């Protein structure tokens, strides 16, 4: 059998994640999925800042201090570039931090999983989240919308402000999907006990919703 046939497939995370997690356990891959996730996330970030609503928000808020049209355009370009880069690189920092935390937790279990295996696992999982970024970015570029409210979240269906809005925006299809995949990956790739493999990702998911709620409250207070 061809040795390469056992390599994990990044597209396989959509159709056969369990098989890919088993392959990642045997042959963790990093560089190709890392490149794919970074490029796709950067492109998604660029699509999001192309939303006409993004420019209007910046003009109404941060641009008030700019002097003259030239200064406003320069500041807007800088904000767009920095925001797109931030969106593009944030998933990688999330993968790095999450992998390190899972690796530390693994030390308290019988698991012999390595940091490379966890990092590879999270990169493949993040690819699914990147699909969500690309979908939402495309919709924002075409239809408008705020990067704080994804089209694939409950918040896009229910008009709510403050903490309620942040919580509803936190319940996003691809975020839930990646949480489920993480639990499956920790069970198969890391060999965690089933209960622990589900509890930890759910806790992280709820913490993310909590931060989203706090961010929404702070934005509401800033707009007062």
Predicted pLDDT of residue 160: 72
The answer, yes or no, to whether residue 29 has pLDDT greater than 60, is yes
- pTM across the whole model: 0.90
Predicted pLDDT of residue 212: 84
Query: How many Cβ atoms are within 10 Å of 32's Cβ, its own excluded?
Result: 12
User: pLDDT higher for 224 or 50?
Assistant: 50
Q: What is the pLDDT of residues 59-112, one digit of tens each?
A: 765 545 545 555 677 788 899 999 999 999 999 999 999 999 999 999 999 999
Helix locations, the chain, DSSP H: 12-15, 17-26, 31-49, 52-60, 68-106, 115-143, 162-170, 173-188, 194-222
Contacts of 68 (CB under 8 A, 6+ apart): none
How far is the C-alpha of 218 from the C-alpha of 148, rounded, in Å?
A: 13
The CA distances from residue 16 to 23, 62, 163, 181, in Å, are: 11, 45, 36, 11
Q: What is the pLDDT of residues 178-204, one digit of tens each?
A: 999 999 999 999 999 999 999 999 999
User: Using alpha carbons only, how large is the chain's radius of gyration in Å?
Assistant: 19
Q: What is the pLDDT of residues 121-169, one digit of tens each?
A: 999 999 999 999 999 999 999 999 888 889 999 988 887 777 888 889 8
The answer, yes or no, to whether residue 223 has pLDDT greater than 60, is no
Residue 182, Cβ density class (10 Å: 0-12 exposed, 13-18 middle, ≥19 buried): buried
Predicted pLDDT of residue 68: 52
3-state DSSP call for residue 153? strand
């Amino acid at each position: 059998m061809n040795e390469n046939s056992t390599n994990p497939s990044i597209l396989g995370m959509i159709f056969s994640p369990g098989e890919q997690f088993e392959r990642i356990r045997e042959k963790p891959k990093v560089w190709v999925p890392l490149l794919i996730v970074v490029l796709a996330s950067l492109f998604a970030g660029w699509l999001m800042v192309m939303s006409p609503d993004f420019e209007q928000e910046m003009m109404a808020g941060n641009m008030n201090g700019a002097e003259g049209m030239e200064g406003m355009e320069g500041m807007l370009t800088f904000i767009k570039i920095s925001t797109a880069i931030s969106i593009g690189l944030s998933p990688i920092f999330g993968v790095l931090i999450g992998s390190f935390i899972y690796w530390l937790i693994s030390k308290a279990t019988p698991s012999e999983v390595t940091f490379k295996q966890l990092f590879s696992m999270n990169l493949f999982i993040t690819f699914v989240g990147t699909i969500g970024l690309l979908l939402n970015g495309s919709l924002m570029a075409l239809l408008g919308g705020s990067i704080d409210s994804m089209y694939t979240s409950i918040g896009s269906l229910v008009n709510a402000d403050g903490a309620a809005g942040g919580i509803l925006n936190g319940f996003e299809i691809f975020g839930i999907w990646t949480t489920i995949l993480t639990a499956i990956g920790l069970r198969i790739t890391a060999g965690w006990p089933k209960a622990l493999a589900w509890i930890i990702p759910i806790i992280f998911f709820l913490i993310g919703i909590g931060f989203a709620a706090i961010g929404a409250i702070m934005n509401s207070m800033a707009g007062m």
